[in-house]
Each structure stands twice: as structure tokens, then as C-alpha cells.
Amino acid sequence: MWRPIGAAVNGKGRPMTHHPALLVLLLTFTQPTHTATRTAQMYQGTVHAIQAHPAGLDLVTGVGFALRLVHMRTLPTTSVDSAGTTIPLGHVKPGDVVRADCRMTETGLVADHIEKLGPQRSRETP
């Protein structure tokens, strides 16, 4: 089973499996959560830019060669952690790989929680 984790997880993904028994199990256990978090979206990607005013960040996500920028606002209540430790948002830099739990609001995407997964591992020097 595969689901693109670089894109929003909003219940519109591809069929999870063709195995009937597993499909029934998955439907049984995922359906309530799905309904409860209909507007929740998870993005995992590389930080492209961070804005101070208004606070937000741009994430590079996508599928294959089709990459997209996703903009999300951050709030004072947005929690950020790395390896289980709370860190300031300022410790997130362009090039970091993060997972952002977001919700769609009338004014756009808002990040409730950001987890820093690690930096890109480029070794090129300028």
C-alpha cells in the first residue's frame, strides 16, 4: 500500500489495497478518524522559505517531478519539536525536512504542529 506523504492527506488518495480482508479492516479502523479530521491536512516536505510578518512558511511538496509550494501560516500557538524536544520556530531553516499538521481555515492553511525531521544532506560547497 502506498500513499503519497508529500501531498495532503485528505481522504482523496488512491485505493489503499485490493485485498478485500485488509480493505475491510482498514475501513473499519480508519473511517471514524477520517470523519473527525475532515479538514486536517498533513504535509511533509522541505522548507523553502520562512516569513516573519505575517508568520508563515513555504514547504516544497509534490509527487515525482511535479513539485509544488504549499504556504501555511504559523500562530503563536503553533508547536514545534525535533526528536521529541520542543524547539523555537526560529530553529527551522530552509532545507529542513518537516512534517506539518495543518487545518484549512477561511484565510488559508494554518499549521498547528510542526515536527522537524532533519536537514537536507547536501555536501556541496558554494
Question: Under the rule (CB under 8 A), what is the footprint of another protein?
Answer: 2, 4-7, 12-15, 18-19, 44-46, 48, 58, 60-69, 94-95, 97, 117-118, 120-126
Beta strands in 1-126 (DSSP E): 40-51, 56-63, 66-82, 85-86, 96-105, 108-119
What is the smallest separation between the CB atom of 14 and another protein, expressed in angstroms? Answer: 6
- Nearest CB to another protein, comparing residues 77 and 122: 122
What end-to-end distance do the CA atoms of the chain give, in Å? 40
Q: Enter the C-alpha cell of residue 11.
A: 481522504
User: Which is closer to another protein, CB of 55 or CB of 95?
Assistant: 95
Q: How far is the CB of 51 from another protein (least distance, A)?
A: 13
Nearer to another protein, 62 or 82 (CB): 62
| Cα(99)–Cα(113) distance, integer angstroms | 8
Query: Do 43 and 10 form a contact (C-beta atoms < 8 A)?
Result: no
Rounded to a whole number of angstroms, the minimum distance from the CB of residue 76 to another protein is 27
We find the least distance from the C-beta atom of residue 105 to another protein, in angstroms, to be 19
C-alpha count within 13 angstroms, C-beta hemisphere, residue 98: 31
